[in-house]
Structure 1
Amino acid sequence: MLSLFFSFSSHSATPEQITYIQTIAEQYIIENIEQPAGGTLEAKAANIDSRIFASDCPTELIASSRSTNANASNITVLVECPEDNWKTYVSVRLIRTGPQATLTTSLNKGEIISAHDVTINMVDLQRLRRQGFSTINAVIGAKVKKNLRSGEIIEQNDICVVCRNDIVTIKAVKSGMTITTKGVALSDGSHGEQIRVKNSKSNRIIDARVSDISEVTVIF
């Protein structure tokens, strides 16, 4: 925790006090909000009205917030000095960057994504409209569901590893044993997503998770 003494002002906060309050708020965010996997988190405190009262707090300032939502664009942090009975609220903007699978070539609807079609870029996660993919392996072999341009971030709704009406291999795993059969996907799905599949032999409809290209797995 930073340690700094303010010069006393009985009327309004000094520029040094304002800066310190902002620093405390930003530090609180960095220490309490989870960073994106493989990415970075920055915190930028908004301007504070210099007319607020702040004293030379005899102890460290206390910061707190009702929100720890890592996906929020802004979080309000309460900074206070209980000993001198003052507090102020600081709006802090979160800047989250993370790895996202991005196309290096344009693809048409129905084409399969290969390794040379995609790369990983660090992007501002707040600008993502929908969930993307943080690894290349998550999208290689997937079929694109619409025309996509080079430079676009691949979102989950853009692709399917298993697509509706695809013939798939159903892997049934129980007590270390695996049995396979064929089926038909009744909906689109990406890696790890649960979809409905119709067993071609029994005509039974089951829930299974997408485990690979044209493959789903059921664990009993």
Structure 2
Amino acid sequence: MAQLLHNLGHEGILEKNMTVFWRFSAFCLVAAAALNHAAALARANQPLEEIMNIAREVATTAAIARGYDDVMVSIRPLDSRLAPALCNEPLQALPANSTRTLGAVSVGVRCNGTKPWTIYVRGTVNAYTDIPVLTESVPRGDIISAADVAIEKIEIRSDFDHIIVDQVDIIGKQAKRALRAGQPLRFSQLMHPILIERGQEVTLVSGLAGVQVRMQGKALASGAAGDRILVANERSGRRLEGIVGRDGTVTIR
């Protein structure tokens, strides 16, 4: 009996020791896994494709917000040698330092995590949009008519801050230089037609207290509608300044 009790006691101690052993082993395995995971995170790099995708999305959104249609963004691949640390915070796009949304663009992507970094991604943005263009080439000095203009969807590679997007601003204007068919037009290429030539006899219009007076004069400069020019009163010879009207008269102000 004594021997049996002795054996049972020995087995109980052994079982207890084995339980402690397995618990300790499990703890060590969990701790090791956690350490390995932390080490892996420390060694992990932010995928370059994710950075480029953010830049692409930002560039696309900016162009659409500017009013462009069918936006296409081509991102220049990042150097594969770049190894930014995996960010433990959501990546952020930096505010653009330029108002340019088409053509060559640069988008900054930043990590504000424990290992911060900033990478600038370069790309090119093009868009297709409806623009009034000339159906035929127009010589210098010609007046553009409605028959000369058509709306076409064309590729735009630079912001159209100065490109004419409404055909109303084209029809009736005069070409400052020879213009090619199919090309977007800029305000700098057109002007109001010259209605009055220097030395031309013109009608001067003056109004006071609701009474309009007309007299003859001579233009001392050429001008288009809305231009201020100098004129001379034929009767008195006095020089006056007036505004050229669309009907070819000069209103004295």
TM-score by length of 1: 0.64
CA contact (8 A) 2:71 2:128 kept: yes
Residue 24 of structure 1, aligned match among 54, 59, 78: 54
Q: Quick check: which one's helix share is greater?
A: 2
- Aligned counterparts, 1:87-98, within 5 A: 87-98=118-129
Residues in 2 aligned to 1:213 and 1:34: alpha-carbon distance in whole angstroms: 42
Could you tell me whether the CA contact under 8 Å between 1:97 and 1:123 is conserved in 2? yes
Displacement after TM superposition at 1:79 (Å)? 1.3
SS of residue matched to 2:113: helix
- Size of the aligned set, in residue pairs, is 199
Q: 1:144 to 1:9 in 2, by over 3 A?
A: same
The one-letter code of the counterpart of 2:108 is L
Question: Structure 1 residue 29: deviation in Å?
Answer: 2.9
Which protein is richer in strand relative to its size? 1
Residues 34/107 of structure 1: CA separation in 2 closer, same or farther (3 Å cut): same
Q: Which residue of 2 aligns with 1:10?
A: 43
Runs of at least 5 residues in structure 2 that lack an aligned partner in the other structure: 1-39
CA 1:127/1:30 → structure 2, altered by over 3 Å: closer, same or farther?
closer
Which residue number in structure 2 is paired with residue 204 of structure 1?
240
Higher mean displacement: 35-44 or 154-163:
35-44
Q: CA RMSD in A?
A: 4.4
Residues 93-144 of structure 1 deviation map (CA, whole Å, 9 limit, x = unaligned): 2324444321112333333211111112333443689933111111111122
Greater RCO (CA < 8 Å, at least 6 residues apart):
1
Cα distance in 1, alignment partners of residues 175 and 149 from structure 2: 12
From 103, 110, 133, the equivalent of 1:102 is 133
More deviation, 135-144/179-188 = 179-188
Of 36, 44, 48 in structure 1, the residue corresponding to residue 78 of structure 2 is 48
Matches of 2:213 and 2:67, distance apart in 1: 35
Q: Does 1:62 find its partner at 2:92?
A: yes
Structure 1: distance between partners of 2:204 and 2:164: 24
CA distance in 2, matches of 1:114, 1:199: 30
1:159 is matched with which residue: 190, 204, 218?
Answer: 190
- How many Å separate the matches in 2 of 1:91 and 1:180? 64
Asked if the contact 1:183–1:197 (Cα under 8 Å) also holds between the matched residues in 2, the reply is no
Give SS of 1:137's match.
Answer: helix
Query: Taking structure 1 as reference, are residues 97 and 212 closer, same or farther at Cα in structure 2, changes over 3 Å only?
Result: farther
- Relative distance call for 1:127 and 1:72 in structure 2 (3 A) is closer
Q: Which has the larger radius of gyration?
A: 2
Is the 2:106–2:120 Cα contact (8 Å) retained in structure 1?
A: yes
Distance change >3 Å, CA 128–CA 59, structure 1 → 2: closer
Structure 2 CA distance for aligned equivalents of residues 183 and 99 of structure 1: 45
TM superposition shift of 1:26: 2.2
Q: CA separation in 2, counterparts of 1:58 and 1:128?
A: 36
Greater Cα offset, 127-136 or 67-76: 127-136
- The letter of the residue matching 1:147 is A
The answer to whether the 8 Å contact 1:55/1:84 transfers is: no
Cα distance in 1 for partners of 2:61, 2:251 equals 39
Correspondent of 1:75 among 105, 116, 120: 105
Give aligned-pair identity as a percent: 20
Q: Which amino acid letter does the alignment assign opposite residue 142 of structure 1?
A: K
Find the aligned partners of 2:250 and 2:128 in 1 and give their Cα distance: 32
SS of residue matched to 2:137: coil
Distance 2:181 2:165 in 1: 17
